[in-house]
């Protein structure tokens, strides 16, 4: 049922249906764009929180994004504040041949973040460049936690690739006909408190199987 309604939406968006006969026919549409407003993004974030951060090989312990607030979406730039909670955090590294262990302990910090982004369609990579800044708090006496945030800020200005998976084509039935629907993402960008996903869609009518012919006895 879900695929049926998705198929109807896609067909309405394409506006290029001109299919006749029982043979397969392919229609290439113009690019379509889906806009996701800020309030929907906020709802998605609130549903996902708290979010467990991947810590990598050097971090031990539990590190969570507890809250995200003051989300602002501009031209290929997203700004927000977030609260990070950590428990039994340890940071392991090496200085020459000497192994070092920094025992951070528990962490409760507010940070201000801005992220710029760009999309590489041929590679299907969304490149994000973060900038992290600790929000001053006079009540905090945990210098080790501040040092950890300084370590995290070493990643400021570095572009990180995120692979965007290709949409899986699906088949939907409209009336007595079946259609294969596919879409390639051509751009992902932000503007005016919205996230835009643009794509080149392809609609193909699935060829009906030929009726079986009974052999005469």
Distance CA 173, CA 42 (A): 34
Residue count (the chain): 217
Q: How far, in whole angstroms, is CA 183 from its chain's centroid?
A: 16
Predicted confidence band of residue 177 (pLDDT cuts 50, 70, 90)? confident
pTM over 0.85: no
Q: Which residue has the tokens 């992220």?
A: 115
Report the SS3 class of residue 21: coil
* 53, pLDDT greater than 60: yes
Tell me the average pLDDT across 32-55: 85
Distance CA 170, CA 7 (A): 9
* 174, pLDDT greater than 90: no
User: Closest Cα partner for 159 from 187, 123, 125?
Assistant: 125
Report the SS3 class of residue 149: helix
Sign, Cα dihedral of 40, 46, 49, 53: positive
> pLDDT tens for residues 85-110?
888 877 777 667 777 777 777 878 88
Distance CA 166, CA 201 (A): 12
Q: Which residues make beta-bridge pairs with 92?
A: 101
In this prediction, residue 77 carries a pLDDT of: 92
Most confident of 40-44, 172-176, 181-185: 40-44
Predicted confidence band of residue 183 (pLDDT cuts 50, 70, 90)? confident
């Amino acid at each position: 049922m879900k695929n049926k309604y998705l198929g109807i939406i896609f067909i309405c968006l394409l506006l290029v249906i001109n299919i006749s006969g029982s043979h397969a026919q392919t229609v290439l549409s113009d690019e379509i764009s889906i806009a996701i407003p800020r309030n929907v993004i906020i709802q998605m974030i609130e549903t996902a929180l708290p979010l467990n951060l991947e810590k990598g090989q050097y971090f031990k312990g539990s590190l969570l994004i507890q809250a995200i607030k003051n989300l602002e979406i501009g031209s290929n730039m997203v700004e927000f504040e977030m609260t990070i909670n950590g428990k039994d955090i340890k940071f392991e590294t090496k200085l020459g041949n000497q192994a070092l262990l920094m025992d951070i302990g528990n962490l409760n910090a507010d940070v201000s973040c801005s992220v710029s982004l760009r999309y590489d369609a041929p590679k299907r990579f969304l490149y994000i460049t973060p900038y992290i800044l600790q929000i001053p708090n006079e009540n905090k006496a945990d210098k080790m936690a501040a040092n950890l945030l300084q370590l995290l800020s070493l990643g400021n200005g570095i572009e990180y690739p995120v692979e965007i998976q290709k949409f899986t084509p699906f088949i939907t039935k409209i009336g007595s006909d079946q259609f294969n629907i596919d879409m390639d993402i051509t751009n992902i960008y932000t503007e005016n408190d919205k996230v835009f996903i643009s794509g080149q869609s392809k609609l193909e009518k699935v060829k009906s199987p030929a009726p079986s012919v009974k052999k005469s006895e």
